[in-house]
């Protein structure tokens, strides 16, 4: 009976939803600071996972050391991307900057293909493979890691944006770039920080999801699409929206696959997304943008 | 020389080049590349009108391209409908779908059209892969009948060269006129300042939706021609990567510059073929070149080159004085 599988669908929806939420947060942070949709967000995720795989399996570092190092490495990639092509661009047209991130995403993807090859790779689960059975649902330990780490990232980000001076400065830039510059906030530094931060969050998402799904050089594209969809679903630029949008998209996908057909899983998720856009275009938690004269 | 006269002289020049090119270019492979440039050029032309004048990006033009290709294929191959009539009906239908998609999304600022078109593209791609009875699934749809002119069947690359480039030139001519018409002026006004345009009585929302529908119709036309030309289509051609590629061609060529768009289509269609010798590194170079062009020529390749040329001429004039 399909109803008895409901808890299982819920668990798997929550798992992929957490990952989408993290990617959506990455999109939101860069968008708030710059107005750019960063097409390389998925590549941050992929690079995080691939670096982690190299650090643990080739260099032989223990998990606890390799995890932060891999995150730092992708933060450095975000840093390079901002001080390189984004800052050097002789234009402040958002469309041009967005297309530059498309170029960056192709470049990163192809570089990754040359470094790590075309075959998908995987990481061992952080702790064991014995699933916990809870009622009708079997929960892998890795799922708990994913949920826990996502929750931790969300709490830390909340603390950063609401309680620290730098975080508040970033929010000020998002609210009004010129006004922020006028009161002495280094707008360019905040832009740089947003790329570094997004790189880090992307890397975390990639590292924690790889033991379940495996990772290949081209996996970033679909992950970015889902994260982007989650961000729109929740309301683009809203942090709360990103998290809830991610979880909702994951759940929709999982239930769609279970009740409708797994072949149409992605179509189902995007169809609901289109409906949401038509009915409530600002997303579920976004502010309706009012054009002022 | 007036601006319009200059424009028509350039257009005539392009037509002459197109007419003379087959004398120089021999061999099926080069003609194939030229024909694909014409097909991409058609899609780029439409998208350029949208991006350049409505200021909105569509990441779903591969879907409209695919609708043209698959509907033409299904109706002409499975139900023996006349190809040209089918092509026209499909064009109108695709424009209608775009119109409906555009109404709720185009009145909003921001990334909503991007997302709506992206989602639409993904859904259509999945349908192409899954509805095997109609589309042939992932292995594609073969045996699409060729086009006829009267009773004369079009066969081989050279026939299609003449057909595709004639159609591209005709649509290009129409688009150049469109830009200078009342509609074009309204669209340019929207691009300059939407608020002012609105205040002056331009129905900005309606114009944006119309231009979106027209651009989708161009893509559908290109798709139908593509299907009849190659007689085989598969879903991979119509995934979101093609949508991104087309946007790239517009941006690299020069947003809102129809001539630049044509150049962008030619350069970026030919580039992977040229880079093919680099084998595995072709795509990597493509990415780096794309970034380089956008960083150093953000206004687009053609306007950028024109600027360099006029700067050089000014410098030369200064020296000779």
CB-based contact A91 B299, cutoff 8 Å: yes
Q: What's the ipTM?
A: 0.85
pLDDT tens-place string over residues B78-101:
999 999 999 999 999 999 999 999
Provide the residue range defining the domain that includes B176.
30-320
State whether residue B100 sits within 8 Å of chain A by CB.
Answer: no
Q: Measure the CA–CA gap between B224 and B221, rounded to whole angstroms.
A: 5
Mean local confidence (pLDDT), A275-290: 71
pLDDT tens-place string over residues A158-183:
999 999 999 999 999 988 889 999 99
Nearest-Cα distance to chain B for A278, in Å, is 6
Which residue in B105, B108, B284 is closest to A110 by CB distance? B284
Return the pLDDT at B137. Answer: 93
State whether residue A102 sits within 8 Å of chain B by CB.
Answer: yes
Domain architecture of chain A: domains with CATH: 7-279 (1.10.3470)
Best A270, A273, A286, A288 member to test B by mutation, with max B CBs in 10 Å, is A270
- Element (DSSP H or E) covering residue A19: helix A6-34
pLDDT tens-place string over residues A92-105:
888 889 889 999 99
> SS3 sequence, chain B?
CCHHHHHHHHHHHHHHHHHHHHHHCCCHHHHHHHHHHHHHHHHHHHHHHHHHHHCCCCCCHHHHHHHHHHHHHHHHHHHCCCHHHHHHHHHHHHHHHHHHHHHHHHCCCCCHHHHHHHHHHHHHHHHHHHCHHHHCHHHCEECCCCCEECCEECCHHHHHHHHHHHHHHHHHHHHHHHHHCHHHHHHHHHHHCHHHHHHCCCCHHHHHHHHHHHHHHHHHHHHHHHHHHHCEECHHHHCHHHHHHHHHHHHHHCCCCHHHHHHHHHHHHHHHHHHHHHHHHHHHHHHHHHHHHHHHCCCCHHHHHHHHHHHHHHHHHHHHC
Residue A30's pLDDT band (cuts 50, 70, 90): very high
Return the pLDDT at B238. Answer: 95
pLDDT tens-place string over residues A6-20:
888 899 999 999 999
Q: Of A70-74, A231-235, A266-270, B312-316, which one has max mean pLDDT?
A: A70-74
State whether residue B23 sits within 8 Å of chain A by CB.
Answer: no
Using a CB-CB distance cutoff of 8 angstroms, which residues of chain A are in contact with residue B57?
95, 98
CATH code: domain of residue B84: 1.10.3470
Return the pLDDT at A291. Answer: 44
Q: Measure the CA–CA gap between A52 and A59, rounded to whole angstroms.
A: 10
Strand B148-149 with B141-142, pairing: unpaired
Nearest-Cα distance to chain B for A15, in Å, is 22
Residue A292 has pLDDT above 50, yes or no: no
Cα-trace Rg, chain A = 19
Residue A1's pLDDT band (cuts 50, 70, 90): low
What residues in chain B have per-residue pLDDT under 70?
1, 108-111, 321
State whether residue B104 sits within 8 Å of chain A by CB.
Answer: yes
Nearest-Cα distance to chain A for B263, in Å, is 17
Q: Which residue(s) pair with B142 in the sheet?
A: B232
Using a CB-CB distance cutoff of 8 angstroms, which residues of chain B are in contact with residue A267?
122-123, 126-127, 130
CB-based contact A225 B118, cutoff 8 Å: yes
pLDDT tens-place string over residues A217-229:
999 988 998 998 8
Q: Measure the CA–CA gap between A211 and B188, rounded to whole angstroms.
A: 52
Question: Lowest mean pLDDT: which of A118-132, A275-289, B303-317?
Answer: A275-289
Q: Measure the CA–CA gap between B249 and B46, rounded to whole angstroms.
A: 12
CB-based contact A229 B126, cutoff 8 Å: no
Matching residue, tokens 């949208």: B50
- Domain membership of residue B120 (yes or no) is yes
pLDDT tens-place string over residues A36-90:
889 999 999 999 999 999 999 999 999 999 999 999 999 999 999 999 999 998 8
Alpha-carbon separation of residue B213 from A6, B64, B208, B210, B311 (angstroms): 42, 10, 9, 5, 39
Cβ proximity of A204 and A23 under 8 Å = no
CB-based contact A88 B295, cutoff 8 Å: yes
- Domain membership of residue B2 (yes or no) is no
Residue A284 has pLDDT above 80, yes or no: no
Query: Taking a contact as any Cβ pair under 8 Å apart, which residues of chain A between 213 and 272 contact chain B?
Result: 225, 228-229, 232, 236, 263-264, 266-267, 270-271
Residue A287's pLDDT band (cuts 50, 70, 90): low
- Domain membership of residue B12 (yes or no) is no
Number of domains in chain B: 1
Mean local confidence (pLDDT), A211-219: 93
Q: Measure the CA–CA gap between A16 and A20, rounded to whole angstroms.
A: 6
Using a CB-CB distance cutoff of 8 angstroms, which residues of chain A are in contact with residue B286?
106
Query: Mean pLDDT for chain A?
Result: 90
Return the pLDDT at B132. Answer: 92
pLDDT tens-place string over residues B17-62:
999 998 888 777 899 999 999 999 999 999 999 988 877 889 899 9
Higher-pLDDT residue of A196 and B185 is A196
- Domain membership of residue B19 (yes or no) is no
């Amino acid at each position: 009976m399909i109803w008895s599988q409901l808890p299982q669908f819920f668990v798997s929806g929550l798992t992929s939803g957490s990952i989408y939420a993290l990617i959506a947060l990455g999109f939101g942070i860069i968008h708030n600071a710059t107005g750019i949709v960063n097409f390389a967000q998925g590549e941050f995720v992929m690079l995080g996972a691939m670096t982690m795989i190299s650090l643990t399996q080739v260099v032989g570092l223990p998990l606890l050391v390799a995890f932060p190092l891999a995150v730092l490495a992708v933060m450095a990639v975000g840093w390079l991307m901002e001080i390189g092509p984004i800052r050097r661009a002789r234009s402040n047209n958002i469309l041009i900057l967005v297309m530059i991130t498309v170029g960056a995403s192709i470049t990163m993807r192809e570089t990754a293909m040359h470094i790590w090859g075309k075959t998908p790779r995987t990481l061992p689960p952080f702790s064991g493979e014995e699933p916990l059975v809870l009622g009708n649902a079997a929960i892998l330990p890795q799922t708990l890691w994913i949920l826990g780490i996502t929750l931790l990232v969300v709490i830390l980000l909340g603390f950063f944006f609401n309680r620290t001076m730098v975080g508040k400065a970033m929010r000020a830039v998002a609210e009004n770039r010129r006004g922020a510059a006028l009161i002495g906030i280094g707008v360019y530094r905040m832009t740089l920080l947003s790329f570094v931060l997004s790189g880090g969050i992307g890397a975390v998402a990639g590292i924690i999801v790889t033991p379940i799904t495996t990772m290949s050089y081209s996996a970033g594209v679909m992950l970015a699409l889902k994260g982007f969809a989650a961000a729109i679903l929740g309301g683009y630029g809203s942090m709360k929206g990103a998290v809830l949008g991610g979880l909702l998209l994951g759940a929709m996908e999982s239930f769609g696959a279970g009740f409708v057909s797994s072949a149409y899983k992605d179509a189902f998720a995007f169809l609901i997304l289109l409906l949401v856009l038509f009915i409530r275009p600002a997303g579920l938690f976004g502010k309706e943008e009012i054009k002022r004269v | 020389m007036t601006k319009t006269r200059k424009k028509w002289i350039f257009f005539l020049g392009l037509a002459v080049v197109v007419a003379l090119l087959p004398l120089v270019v021999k061999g099926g492979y080069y003609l194939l590349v030229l024909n694909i440039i014409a097909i991409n050029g058609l899609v780029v032309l439409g998208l350029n009108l949208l991006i350049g004048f409505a200021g909105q990006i569509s990441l779903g033009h591969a879907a409209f391209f695919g609708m043209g290709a698959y509907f033409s294929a299904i109706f002409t191959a499975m139900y023996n409908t006349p190809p040209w009539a089918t092509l026209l009906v499909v064009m109108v239908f695709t424009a209608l779908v775009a119109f409906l998609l555009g109404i709720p999304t185009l009145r909003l600022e921001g990334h909503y059209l991007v997302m709506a078109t992206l989602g639409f593209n993904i859904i259509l791609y999945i349908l192409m892969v899954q509805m095997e009875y109609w589309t042939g699934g992932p292995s594609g749809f073969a045996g699409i009948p060729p086009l006829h002119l009267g009773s004369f069947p079009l066969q081989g690359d050279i026939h299609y060269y003449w057909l595709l480039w004639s159609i591209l030139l005709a649509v290009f001519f129409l688009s150049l006129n469109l830009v200078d018409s009342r509609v074009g002026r309204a669209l340019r006004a929207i691009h300059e300042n939407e608020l002012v345009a609105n205040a002056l009585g331009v129905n900005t929302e309606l114009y944006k939706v119309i231009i979106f529908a027209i651009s989708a119709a161009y893509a559908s036309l290109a798709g139908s021609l593509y299907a009849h030309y190659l007689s085989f289509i598969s879903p991979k051609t119509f995934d979101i990567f093609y949508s991104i590629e087309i946007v790239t061609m517009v941006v690299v060529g020069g947003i809102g510059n129809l001539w630049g768009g044509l150049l962008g289509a030619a350069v970026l269609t030919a580039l992977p073929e040229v880079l093919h010798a680099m084998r595995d590194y072709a795509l990597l170079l493509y990415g780096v070149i794309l970034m380089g062009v956008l960083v150093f020529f953000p206004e687009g390749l053609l306007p950028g080159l024109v600027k360099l040329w006029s700067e050089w001429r000014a410098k030369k004039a200064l020296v000779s004085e």
